[in-house]
Structure 1
């Protein structure tokens, strides 16, 4: 069995220290095979926030892969956002969009952030052709017997019952392409509430799995993360909420 901890929206700068301590202690005590963080490490992409996130993630005693979130792009410096949007990641950069090959699971990154959009709200998601192409190619190159899990920040398709929307441009087409390529699930964050939804698109089945937050920016759910178990090609999800 392969165990993964899926966590999201740490929001250093508005993090919940008790929740961070709880998650770190759980990782240290239970030693999952990997931690997948689906974005928004910071609140305002400040260097000090990234430094705090780096110290925290580097202390986790298991492999970690991180997706950029919309809060991780420069907020107050438009020139830096346009030309060097990921410069401030610093030591975290080595974890960003890091594919993972585990005994029975392949983790594939899919970037859904954009430095600029022809839309009013730049927090919404975008799947570019190049990002989708890389993800599909990684899925095709992975072990045929593996469960393929894609990690993104924004949900590719909005869930009407959630309090927040991702409005991911190209998301539905991307979900269809990933399903056809053989992906079993897409992990995401952004909405700060967990969900687990099955989709069937043109005969191909795929799951969308969202994680909550470890920050003070709560919506309907207390601080939480997802424990994902993969055994004999079957994927199960348990939402673990702070006591």
Structure 2
């Protein structure tokens, strides 16, 4: 059996220190096979926020993959946003959009952030053709009996949550990922957990969202998802700090 801890929207700069300590203790006590962080490590992509996030991640002492969230692209330095958007990830660059391969289970990244968009709200999601092709290429290279999970920041299609990802190209991407063998898509952004099944043209795929470990809670307290995979069965338990 494989155990994954899925958290999101940590927002260093507006972090909940008690929630971070609680999650780190959960990792220490339970020793998951990997930790999946689906974006928004920081609040305003400041250097000090990335430094704090990097230290916290290294102290987890577990394999980690980190997706890029909309809050993690430089806010105040447009030159850096467009030319070197990932420079501030330097301390954890080996974990950014890193594929994780475990016995019988693989986690494949899908980038849903954009440096700019043809709409006013750049915080919303977008799946580019290049990003989708890269994820599909990886999915198709994996053995057929692998449980294949996608990790992204924005929900590809909206769940029944207060906030929305409004991801452009999300439905098309979801259908293509399912056809390529993805069993589930793990995301964040909306700060509330969810677990739903979405029918596509040729089958169905799980949509699994993590809550937040920051002070920016919405409908639920700070939480993370404990995901256990036994054979092809995927079980998701949202765990709340109370």
Mapped partners of 1:103, 1:58: distance in 2: 23
Conservation of the 8 A alpha-carbon contact between 1:51 and 1:90: no
Question: What is the Cα deviation at residue 203 of structure 1?
Answer: 2.1
Residues 23-62 of structure 1: matches in 2 within 5 Å?
23-62=23-62
Structure 2: runs of 5 or more not aligned: none
Mapped partners of 2:164, 2:235: distance in 1: 25
Residues 57-76 of structure 1: matches in 2 within 5 Å?
57-76=57-76
Which secondary structure state, in structure 2, belongs to the residue aligned with residue 221 of structure 1? coil
Moved over 3 A (4+): none
Which secondary structure state, in structure 2, belongs to the residue aligned with residue 230 of structure 1? strand
Aligned to 2:170: 171
TM-score, normalised via structure 2 length: 0.99
Task: Confirm whether residue 225 of structure 1 aligns to residue 227 of structure 2.
Answer: no
Moved more, 9-18 or 79-88: 79-88
Conservation of the 8 A alpha-carbon contact between 1:37 and 1:67: yes
Aligned to 1:117: 117
Question: What is the Cα deviation at residue 62 of structure 1?
Answer: 1.2
Residues 195-234 of structure 1: matches in 2 within 5 Å?
195-234=194-233
Mapped partners of 1:205, 1:195: distance in 2: 16
Mapped partners of 2:14, 2:6: distance in 1: 19
Mapped partners of 2:152, 2:76: distance in 1: 24
Aligned to 2:158: 158
Map Cα deviations across residues 78-116 of structure 1 (whole Å, 9 max, x no partner): 111111111111212110000011012010000000000
Question: What is the Cα deviation at residue 162 of structure 1?
Answer: 1.1
Aligned to 2:77: 77
Question: What is the Cα deviation at residue 51 of structure 1?
Answer: 0.4
Map Cα deviations across residues 168-224 of structure 1 (whole Å, 9 max, x no partner): 010000000000001000000000000011011112210110000000000001000
Mapped partners of 2:124, 2:21: distance in 1: 30
Aligned-residue Cα RMSD (Å) equals 0.7
TM-score, normalised via structure 1 length: 0.98
Question: What is the Cα deviation at residue 145 of structure 1?
Answer: 1.0
Question: What is the Cα deviation at residue 20 of structure 1?
Answer: 0.1
Question: What is the Cα deviation at residue 120 of structure 1?
Answer: 0.8
Conservation of the 8 A alpha-carbon contact between 1:50 and 1:92: no
